[in-house]
Chain A
């Protein structure tokens, strides 16, 4: 029982840490580093197409 209480305390601490740091355990996005050349170019974000695995290849 004591071990379980300690385990639950650790769980609560972990839960609190995840929430306060906004850590999403189920990733819904993927990271993309946009090159500085794109950022420097006017309209670069609009024309940049390499957004990693994102985007749709078709649909309904």
Chain B
């Protein structure tokens, strides 16, 4: 793994060791001289500035294992993007190769140079969010384009110690969770490929304990604006808003610089510095932002809290009492059709809103050089209860995935006194409570409808439908016909009276009455027999029916008579001499079954309507309101 070449510093004579076969330079730990190795010769290459205090779990000599290959840390670069400083640790691997271990925002990335990678894109051809097909890495998405400057180093490094030199790089992620850097420091770009690994998987001890109440701040300084205390919770903090004078400070270097004065009128919903455990993650609140977007000339503000825990940085976003818990994700995990949809982890997210989001108020500390009034392009995609959020600048596209969280859960997680504000309207990623019941309601209704239909079929088949009377009735105006008495067995039951006559271009009315012979209680009805046809405008028409019927309900057992009195108007049409009249007992009634089917279908219809209404209210707040209209909902949430 190492060559173990021991030497001495040409400046001070202190022991110096070139342990890595690929090491080109080393820093003298005694006099901070940079020593360049050229064959067997050692040359001084100037003084090295002190290292900037940063949050790291690695150290020189730290050993671990990545994908079965052991490594040992030989050196560290400190790189800067102007204000932000980060570490890249130089590691020598057991297979004779080397690589970088980079720490950023509490995460660890291991990359190794890909020798002979050809066809790499030119720097000027790249843009943030661009998809690339890289040799040895596959499909990758450019997350960040930036410049790095070597500001300091310690131990050994595999590159020339050109302090102050600036070069361009592109950080990319791959769909499979890989991490790729295209380094444009030399004439030809160099490809480094690897992946994010957990400290535990790399065999690196967890030196950073979970936040604990009352823990000492990582750095305690004084505000250059007011002299007030600047207690930074995180060593990698880049910006801090002084709670006393509201100066926004650049805290990335030892000397604090005032960048301006920021607004800080809003009280954070969770105080800064508070510890809690949300969704299994111990977290500490670090910063608070009021952000806003402008729609049709009106600004819509929302609040965001920056948190940190062992898993890195997290966000809590709240708008109208609706909370989202957001975690950063690699850009390559997202396949975006901008403004329409995005795919991530097998789910499709619909575009909800795109806007330029502005930082209006800043409180607490942040891991990047935040500026008040700065805007970034944002796009939100939803697949409740999840949300994907993209924030874009010219150099960077960062993605995060959020989950809808109830205010009560936030209050319990941190914990906070009282109760959370009641949500207003429908949140972008708020689960639709009706949608969850939709499938069950239709399935249940389907089972019920089938059951009722089968019951109806059984009753229909079981119905006796026995003809108890059939007679021909003379069709003469006012000539009353009285049937012979007939018996209706069984009951109570439905009895159907039907009449039929082959009328043509004519109408016949029949007043019928079913009379119980013993009591005289009767049920009377009017039947119509008619048939008219013609041609009008070249189209034939017809109306009327040659058959009429009426159903008498709840007819009890007994002896009955049927009285028929025709109403006949003889004219040009044809009216036969008689009509055929029948009485059938024990008929099946369709109305109760239809009513039962309608009532059984009400529940899924109601659930569907409520679900649609819920979604309509959700999308009212988006760029894609249903029906094309805008507006807002101010009703309380369900």
Tell me if A19 and B459 are in contact (CB < 8 A). Answer: yes
- Min Cβ gap B588→A in Å is 7
Q: In residues 502-522 of chain B, which contact A (Cβ within 8 Å)?
A: 506-507, 509, 511, 513-515, 520-522
Tell me if B520 and A29 are in contact (CB < 8 A). Answer: no
Tell me if A5 and B444 are in contact (CB < 8 A). Answer: yes
Tell me if A56 and B600 are in contact (CB < 8 A). Answer: no
Residues on B with beta carbons closer than 8 Å to the beta carbon of A35: 520
Residues on B with beta carbons closer than 8 Å to the beta carbon of A4: 441, 444-445, 448, 603
Complex Cα–Cα for A15 and B456 (A): 9
Please tell me the size bucket of the interface on B: 35 or more
Complex Cα–Cα for A21 and B555 (A): 9
Residues on A with beta carbons closer than 8 Å to the beta carbon of B551: 24, 28-29
Interface flags, A25-44, vs B, CB<8A=1, else 0:
11111111111101100000
Residues on A with beta carbons closer than 8 Å to the beta carbon of B553: 22-24, 27
Residues on A with beta carbons closer than 8 Å to the beta carbon of B482: 45-46
Tell me if A29 and B550 are in contact (CB < 8 A). Answer: yes
Interface flags, B406-444, vs A, CB<8A=1, else 0:
000000000000000000000000000000000011001
Residues on B with beta carbons closer than 8 Å to the beta carbon of A36: 520
Counting CB contacts under 8 A, is B382 at the interface? no
Evaluate whether A24 and B440 lie within 8 angstroms (CB atoms) in the complex, with A33-B521, A55-B526 already known: no
- Min Cβ gap A46→B in Å is 4
Evaluate whether A25 and B524 lie within 8 angstroms (CB atoms) in the complex, with A4-B603, A11-B452, A34-B515 already known: no
Q: In residues 448-471 of chain B, which contact A (Cβ within 8 Å)?
A: 448, 451-452, 455-456, 459
Total residues of chain A contacting the partner, CB 8 A: 41
Tell me if A30 and B523 are in contact (CB < 8 A). Answer: yes
Counting CB contacts under 8 A, is B635 at the interface? no
Tell me if A24 and B596 are in contact (CB < 8 A). Answer: no
- Specify the chain A residue showing the minimal Cβ separation from B593: A15
Residues on A with beta carbons closer than 8 Å to the beta carbon of B522: 31-34, 51
Counting CB contacts under 8 A, is B491 at the interface? yes
Complex Cα–Cα for A24 and B532 (A): 30
- On A, residues with C-beta under 8 Å from B are 1, 4-5, 7-8, 11-12, 14-16, 18-36, 38-39, 45-47, 51-52, 54-56, 59-60
20 examples of A-B residue contacts, CB within 8 angstroms: A7-B599, A15-B452, A18-B589, A24-B553, A24-B589, A24-B591, A26-B591, A29-B524, A29-B551, A30-B525, A31-B521, A33-B520, A34-B522, A45-B482, A45-B515, A46-B563, A51-B513, A54-B511, A55-B511, A60-B507
- On B, residues with C-beta under 8 Å from A are 440-441, 444-445, 448, 451-452, 455-456, 459, 480, 482, 491-495, 506-507, 509, 511, 513-515, 520-526, 528, 530, 532, 550-555, 561, 563, 565, 567, 569, 586, 588-589, 591-593, 595-596, 599-600, 603
